[in-house]
Amino acid sequence: MKRCLITAGPTREHFDPVRYLSNGSSGKMGYALAAEALRLGWEVDLVTGPVSLRPPSGAIVHRVTSALEMREACLQVFPHCQLLIMAAAVADYRPAERLDTKSAKSDGPLQLQLIPNPDILAQLATGRLPGQILVGFAAETDQVEAKARAKLTRKGLDWIVANDVSSPELGMEADRNAITMLSRTGKALSFGPADKADVAAFILGTLDRSPRVPAHHPAGAP
């Protein structure tokens, strides 16, 4: 059976036991992709950040909280998969220090030092095996296609799914989405607005119909 790894939802980057930095990702797009992949007969590993959704029946669920935890889960599963779809909205930064106890409120401003989180998708791309297909997501609010195309090239992906999240009716917390799939061979395929289940079917259908072109490995990759 073919096996795929799909990531979904946000990450939470705690600076004390009860407070954290995060984003508005609902996980709906990633969960819709997992459900569609299962319907098509894939074995699905779903690495999910904290969301309120019920995972689709049959998925192998790996629950994580932080970006570092998501990276570790992906590194464990990815070598056994033929397809990766990185739909999670991973926090770019995390607090440099996490307190063991809740920090006390003060009258003055709170200052946090932030450090970069590892780029999970770029790290997986450098260790990809022959035949593995890598798909990223680019949620942007301006210059959507240009920024997505740059990310596609920079990370050595096969496809990237670009979507404009500036509209409240589409994107992270909404039930509908509108996307453009960009390939490293130059294709640009648009779909939507549509329910995320239909968007998931379009994405996986496009991947299934695409010829397997040998991947270009970034400099320094095996």
State the catalytic residues.
23
If we measure between CA atoms, which residue out of 53, 55, 48, 27 comes closest to residue 196? 27
> Which long-range contacts (C-beta less than 8 Å, at least 24 apart) are formed by 75-82?
75/123, 75/124, 77/5, 77/45, 77/47, 78/5, 78/124, 78/127, 78/132, 79/127, 79/129, 80/3, 81/3, 81/4, 81/5, 81/45, 81/132, 82/2, 82/3, 82/4, 82/131, 82/132, 82/133
- Quote the DSSP letter at residue 28: H
| Backbone torsions φ then ψ of 47, nearest 5 degrees | -95, 110
Give the C-alpha separation, 152 to 159, whole Å: 7
Question: What one-letter code names the amino acid at 10?
Answer: P
Other C-beta atoms lying within 10 Å of the C-beta of residue 191: 18
Other C-beta atoms lying within 10 Å of the C-beta of residue 100: 6
